[in-house]
Amino acid sequence: MKLGIARKGIDMVLYRKPTVRTRLALLAGVLLLASAGIVTTQNASAREGAKAKDLKLRVDEQAVKRDVNLRASFSPIIKDVTPSVVNVFTSTKPKRIEGMPGGPGGPFGNNPFFREFFGEQGQGRPMMTPRQEGLGSGVIVTEDGYILTNNHVIEGADAIKVALNPEGKEYDAKLVGRDPKSDIAVLKIEADGLSAIRLGNSDGVEVGDVVLAIGNPFGVGQSVTMGIVGAISRAVFGRPSGLEYEDFIQTDAAINPGNSGGPLIDSQGRLIGINTAILSRSGGNNGIGFAVPVNLAKSVMESIVEHGRVVRGFLGVNIQDVTPGLAKEFGLKEPSGALVAEVTARSPAEKAGVKSGDVITQFDGHEVRDSRHLKLMVGQVAPDKQIALALLRDGKSKNLEVVLKETPENSNPGVRRGGPRGGGGSPAPDSGGLQGVVVGDINPQARQQYDIPRDVQGALVTEVEEDSVAWSASLRPGDVVREINRKPVRDAEEAIEAAQELENARILLKVWRGGGNRFVVVDETKRK
């Protein structure tokens, strides 16, 4: 009998910038972090005994005045703000590397060419990496010297200096703490009576608002550019390694290497974002720049100062966006909210009664647009706080109360987002449901190859035809089919039996992939 799904046995970052030796460096690529220079990674200790109450911030969260004509000059605003903007200089010491490239300790020790080039006596000699310098910007947020900048500006630096504007007076800066997950870092200089910028409310920013970017692009000196907000709550492609919380403000105000860590301000001179990255193929500004919203940066800073680290809320769910196909399967009127693919055992979500297949529509009274939005909201809530959840289960509304915990150390965030993964495919039988899909049982070799936990049961996808509907739906080799139309399957045989009656049907699969579960809709009615 031909089946659409067949069985087969199994035998089985950080965008790294180029090294620079000067403060004037160009960056090239698709997504660039807007700082000139690179440094190697190292951990930094937090400021001992610091408390959030030490942060005497100037906050002005009133809505921007949008009912006035564009002013002829922003000079008064710039004169007020630029003393708050600083230049950040970093340096790394030369590091000793044992073994010349052609020596026994080097990477080419057995290569005759390198042995001849370096000579027998040159083998094993230590090498020194060159001294590296980097350049970025920052913004003073308190009169006693707390400064916001980007993590990638100072990451790995052995020494950090800050130069004030316009007099150029330099200070040694201490790294209070950094957060690669949001690309925010907090510095402190020993000074008083500094000009601190006013903090606005980034949640009130709207597309079309006039904004100004200030920084030290290419090391030419402090510069100001103007543009508008092109988009809000933006995620970016090619993001740096370690970046997990993306909620960027997009702007066409010119941002270039050296602008990283500098302020993006509104038309009234209030800080609304920290300039971070540009989308560029040339290395320079192409009109698409990104800034971390000040509300997110402020939350990270306050946690670092008070706790010495970033303390984030933990819900304990693996979530994914709701596609139009999933919305139809789960009885939703529109594709919005965050679909729960998996609930972590003994997590706050499990204790509150959240189940796989629920669609979270509101968190703490705020609408949930998608999985990334929920992740951001959970991460900014303090642990042990009780939060109201609104969700849809089997098309019916349900309200729950959940008490968040702290995100476990060295773990994924409190919510994890599922996503597609690449893979290959090969022919399979072409009748029945799930055409072009080949499955097998999960044996020890398969568990090792695909890193499948022991408690994950189901049918392992071994082949998917690249021109099949299943491939278009993102099903890939290495996925484990755990449910077919909400019916659990324990092995390949059960998956084949469940697929026999599904020809020309819409099929909802629950699959394990890369460490978590997610839902996939395979619409066989669209079969060519």
Residue 286 resides in a domain: yes
Residue 510 resides in a domain: yes
Instruction: Say which range, 59-63, 288-292, 373-377, 453-457, has the weakest mean pLDDT.
Output: 59-63
Run of H or E residues at 285 = none
pLDDT tier at 236 (50, 70, 90 boundaries)? confident
The catalytic position among 260, 267, 303, 474 is 260
* pTM passes above 0.85: no
The total of structural domains in the chain comes to 4
Q: Let me know whether 284 and 195 are in one domain.
A: yes
User: What is the average pLDDT across 189-204?
Assistant: 94
Q: Let me know whether 447 and 342 are in one domain.
A: no
pLDDT exceeds cutoff 80 at 15: no
pLDDT digits (tens, 9 = 90+) for 347-361: 999 999 999 999 999
Instruction: Determine how β-strand 487-488 pairs with β-strand 480-484.
Output: antiparallel
pLDDT tier at 35 (50, 70, 90 boundaries)? low
- Residue keyed to tokens 């000196």: 221
Q: Let me know whether 83 and 206 are in one domain.
A: yes
Q: Let me know whether 413 and 425 are in one domain.
A: no
Residue 2 resides in a domain: no
Q: What is the CATH number of the domain that holds 499?
A: 2.30.42.10
Segments forming the whole domain that contains residue 518:
421-526
Q: Let me know whether 178 and 52 are in one domain.
A: yes
Q: Let me know whether 107 and 191 are in one domain.
A: no
Q: Let me know whether 492 and 478 are in one domain.
A: yes
Residue 117 resides in a domain: yes
CB within 8 A of 502, min separation 6: which ones?
A: 4, 432, 433, 434, 484, 485, 524
Q: What is the pLDDT of residue 504?
A: 67
Instruction: Determine how β-strand 437-440 pairs with β-strand 5-7.
Output: parallel
Q: Let me know whether 238 and 252 are in one domain.
A: yes
Run of H or E residues at 78 = helix 75-81
Residue 13 resides in a domain: no
Q: What is the pLDDT of residue 200?
A: 95
Q: Let me know whether 84 and 191 are in one domain.
A: yes
Q: Let me know whether 199 and 220 are in one domain.
A: yes
pLDDT tier at 425 (50, 70, 90 boundaries)? very low
pLDDT exceeds cutoff 90 at 378: yes
Nearest 5°: phi and psi at 181? -65, -25
3-state secondary structure of 219: helix
pLDDT exceeds cutoff 90 at 444: no
User: What is the average pLDDT across 424-445?
Assistant: 66
pLDDT tier at 472 (50, 70, 90 boundaries)? confident
User: What is the average pLDDT across 304-309?
Assistant: 90
Q: Which residues on adjacent β-strands are paired with residue 227? A: 211
Q: Let me know whether 302 and 347 are in one domain.
A: no
Q: What is the pLDDT of residue 13?
A: 26
The catalytic position among 183, 247, 321, 441 is 183
Q: Which residues on adjacent β-strands are paired with residue 359? A: 339, 392
Last residue of a domain, one of 283, 307, 331: 307
Considering only CA atoms, which of 144, 168, 166, 160 is closest in space to residue 35?
160
Q: Which residue has the higher pLDDT, 271 or 53?
A: 271
- Residue keyed to tokens 């066409």: 252
Q: What is the pLDDT of residue 207?
A: 95
pLDDT digits (tens, 9 = 90+) for 244-286: 888 899 999 998 888 899 999 999 999 999 999 888 776 667 7
The catalytic position among 84, 137, 152, 209 is 152
Q: Let me know whether 141 and 115 are in one domain.
A: no
User: What is the average pLDDT across 505-527?
Assistant: 86
pLDDT exceeds cutoff 50 at 346: yes
Residue 178 resides in a domain: yes
Q: What is the pLDDT of residue 112?
A: 57
Q: Which residue has the higher pLDDT, 21 or 400?
A: 400
pLDDT digits (tens, 9 = 90+) for 128-156: 667 767 789 999 999 999 999 999 999 98
Q: Which residue has the higher pLDDT, 71 or 390?
A: 390
Residue 19 resides in a domain: no
Q: What is the CATH number of the domain that holds 44?
A: 2.40.10.120
Residue 168 resides in a domain: yes
pLDDT digits (tens, 9 = 90+) for 278-301: 887 766 677 889 999 999 999 999
Last residue of a domain, one of 417, 433, 467: 417
Q: What is the pLDDT of residue 40?
A: 33
Q: What is the pLDDT of residue 7?
A: 52
Instruction: Say which range, 9-18, 115-124, 311-320, 481-490, has the weakest mean pLDDT.
Output: 9-18
Euclidean distance between CA atoms 148 and 161, whole angstroms: 14
Per the annotation, the verdict on 307 as an active-site residue is no
pLDDT exceeds cutoff 50 at 306: yes
Q: What is the pLDDT of residue 21?
A: 32
Instruction: Say which range, 122-136, 148-162, 193-207, 455-469, has the weakest mean pLDDT.
Output: 122-136
Percentage above 70 pLDDT, the chain: 75
Structure tokens at 164: 């004030």
Per the annotation, the verdict on 152 as an active-site residue is yes
User: What is the average pLDDT across 387-401?
Assistant: 93
Last residue of a domain, one of 417, 441, 474: 417
Q: Which amino acid is at 487?
A: K
Q: Which residues on adjacent β-strands are paired with residue 160? A: 90
Euclidean distance between CA atoms 175 and 160, whole angstroms: 8
